[in-house]
Structures are given as C-alpha cells and as structure tokens.
Amino acid sequence: MGKSRLEAFSDGVLAIIITIMVLEMKVPHGIGVDALSPLIPVLLSYVLSFVYLGIYWNNHHHMLHASQKVTGSMLWANLHLLFWLSLFPFATGWMGENHFAATTMALYGVVLFMAAIAYLILQQTIISSQGRDSLLKAAVGRDWKGRFSPVLYAFAIAASFLSPWIAGGIYVAVALMWLVPDRRITNVLVSKET
C-alpha cells in the first residue's frame, strides 16, 4: 500500500483545518476601524494555531518521508492525530472570542496535549512497523522535544487557572521551540544517502 494516498489525505485534511479556522473571524457589520478591534484576539489565536498546524504539517512531512511502508495501524494512528488536529478550529475560536479566558486557554491546552500524544503514538507506530534499523528511529533519537512538549502543555493547562497569560506564554514558547525544522531527521536522511 503506497504512502502517497496517506500523504494526500493528510494534506487535504490539514489544508482544510488550517483554512476553515479563518471562518471563525466573522465579518463585522460596522465599517469603522473600531469594528475590527474585537477581532484582534481572534486574529492572534488564529496566528498561533496557524503556526502550530504548520509545524504539524512540516513534521508530518518529514516523518512520513523517513518511513518506507504503510501499515493498517499507521493509517489509524494517523487518523487519530488528524482527529485531535480537527478540534483546533473549535478550541481556537472559543479562545479568541472570549479574549483568552482561563477555561478557554485550558481547553486549548488539552487539544494541544492530545495532539502531541497522538503524534508520539503515530511516531512510535511508524518506528515499530519499520523494523529494527528504522530510519526514523535513528533520526528521532531521544526526541526530547516530542516528549517535553506534552509536559509543558499539561503544566500550561493547570497554570491557565492561575493566569491565562502564563498558559499563553507557554503555548507561544513551545511553538517557537518547534518552529526550527526537525534537522535530526534531515541529517540522518542525508547521511544515509551519502
């Protein structure tokens, strides 16, 4: 079973998720600049989620590039990841419309947490399906970024009830940490080819 259709379907779902989020920015009825000001938190939360989904697309891209075959459990682990990513528009919209209120920040953290766990599961599923000398396993190594992120999200969920700003700061920091493309996988791939 080829991986091209798995990539195409994932690309399709990710492209739609990233795009329908913008539908939460409802066109205001007024025409003054002040009609736009309530949309600023909605725009900010959209930017954050756009970056997160961009990171997921990017890393998903690398991860599948490093895997040679596709198994039934990979298909389902992938759908499981897409499920949690599909809740981004909802969590983003709720957070943006309510100006980053505590509960909305916590829910956003829950979605981030579950997506991160789903990503780890997919990664593990791919590694175990590729056999002993998996290219991806070598590339990922100890994967401190992948394992550390859910811990930070869990901390942010708790912190959001203290101050939503701490949670927001953590979400932005983790996004920045991931923005650097996963050079580990690229490096191993390049060195294998040499």
CA angle, corner 113, sides to 10 and 180, nearest 5? 65
Q: How near is the Cβ of 141 to its own copies at its closest, in Å? A: 18
Q: Which is nearer to its own copies, 153 or 178 (CB)?
A: 178
Distance CA 45, CA 56 (A): 17
Tokens of 77: 């682990």
Q: Which is nearer to its own copies, 9 or 155 (CB)?
A: 9
| Other beta carbons less than 10 A from residue 113's beta carbon | 19
Of the residues 45, 48, 62, 175, which one makes contact with its own copies according to CB under 8 A:
62
Q: Note whether 11 binds its own copies by CB under 8 A.
A: yes
Residue 153 identity (one-letter amino acid): Y
Q: Note whether 144 binds its own copies by CB under 8 A.
A: no
Tokens of 26: 């409802």
Q: Which of 77, 188, 79 is nearest to 134 (CA)?
A: 188
Q: How near is the Cβ of 22 to its own copies at its closest, in Å? A: 5
Q: Which stretch binds its own copies (CB under 8 A): 21-29, 113-121, 129-137, 169-177?
A: 21-29
Q: Note whether 117 binds its own copies by CB under 8 A.
A: no
Contact 45, 92 (CB under 8 A): yes
Q: H or E stretch including 166? A: helix 164-179
Contact 65, 130 (CB under 8 A): no
Of the residues 44, 61, 121, 155, which one makes contact with its own copies according to CB under 8 A:
61
143-172 b/e with 16+ CB inside 10 Å = b?
bebbeebbebbeebbebbeeebebbbebbe
Of the residues 38, 41, 75, 121, which one makes contact with its own copies according to CB under 8 A:
75
Q: Which is nearer to its own copies, 151 or 162 (CB)?
A: 162
Q: Which is nearer to its own copies, 85 or 127 (CB)?
A: 85
Q: Please report, as ranges, the residues that interact with its own copies according to CB under 8 A.
A: 1-2, 5, 7-9, 11-20, 22-25, 27-29, 31-33, 35-36, 47, 50, 54, 57-58, 61-62, 65, 72, 75-76, 79, 82-83, 86-87, 89-90, 93-94, 97-98, 101-104, 107, 179, 181, 183, 186
